[in-house]
Amino acid sequence: MAAEAEVLDELHRLRARVPQLTGALAASVDGLVLAHDTPGVEPEGLAALTAAALGVAVRITDAGGRGDLRELLLRGEQGYVATYAAGASAVLTLLAQDRVNVGRLHLEGRRTGTRIGELVDASPRRAADPVAGRAAIKAPADTTGRSPARSLAQTTPPGTEPTTSQTPSRATVRSTMPRRTPGATTARSTPRTAPNTPTTSES
């Protein structure tokens, strides 16, 4: 994605502002890593688990009538795992020590999530024109309406014999057949047998 470098810069700045953060990860809502700064933690596994946890959290907020999910906060013995919305298609997951100020964590997490969401949501529109230009250069449109296979078959070099056998036309078949003369009969290949007639022996 074109915004990966900018998203990674946002993660670095966030960790600098909140020293108690031990990791930060931006991922798509379906669990694909966009950018990460998570030393000692596998980013792919964390992104996949975040997507699964979000699915459960969305159901819980919906069942409790709390509206759309905004953030998810988990606390373990060693600290916090917080997940914030980042636009329409991404999330921000933060790992923090147990002594972090939770209010500061939410404040910075929400701000950074908003910024990352703007970068991710704007990235496809920014890259649309260059991608379209490269596609037009690599695969120009065929204005004739012919399929590539048919066009290739019609551009066979001169002197190249076709690989498929062709049936001669009806006019060619007629010209190769012998012309029959009216009243003429053709000899049969099988001789005719004479009828059985009694034979007389001469003394």
DSSP, residue by residue, 99-150: TS-HHHHHHHHHHHHHHHHHHHHHHHHHHHHHHHHHHHHHS---TT---HHH
Q: How many residues does the chain have?
A: 203
Residue 190, beta-bridge partner list = none
Residue 58, CB-side half-sphere exposure with 13 Å CA sphere:
10
The string of pLDDT tens digits covering residues 46-92 is 999 999 999 999 999 999 999 988 899 999 999 999 999 998 899 99
Domain boundary assignment for the chain: 4-135
- Whole-number Cα distances in Å, 124 to 3, 82, 86, 173: 9, 27, 15, 64
Q: Read off the pLDDT band of 123 (50, 70, 90).
A: confident
What are the tens digits of pLDDT across the range 126-146?
Answer: 444 443 333 322 333 333 343
- What confidence score (pLDDT) does residue 196 get? 55
Per-residue pLDDT, 192? 52
Average pLDDT score over residue span 39-50: 95
What is the reported pTM? 0.60
Is the pLDDT at 14 greater than 90, yes or no? Answer: yes
CATH of domain 4-135: 3.30.450.30
Given a cut of 50, whether residue 98 has pLDDT beyond it is: yes
Report how far residue 19's alpha carbon sits from residue 16's, in angstroms, rounded to the nearest whole number: 6
Going from the C-alpha of 180 to that of each of 7, 171, 177, 185, 188, the distances in angstroms are: 90, 17, 9, 9, 15
Read off φ and ψ for residue 122, nearest 5 degrees.
-85, -15
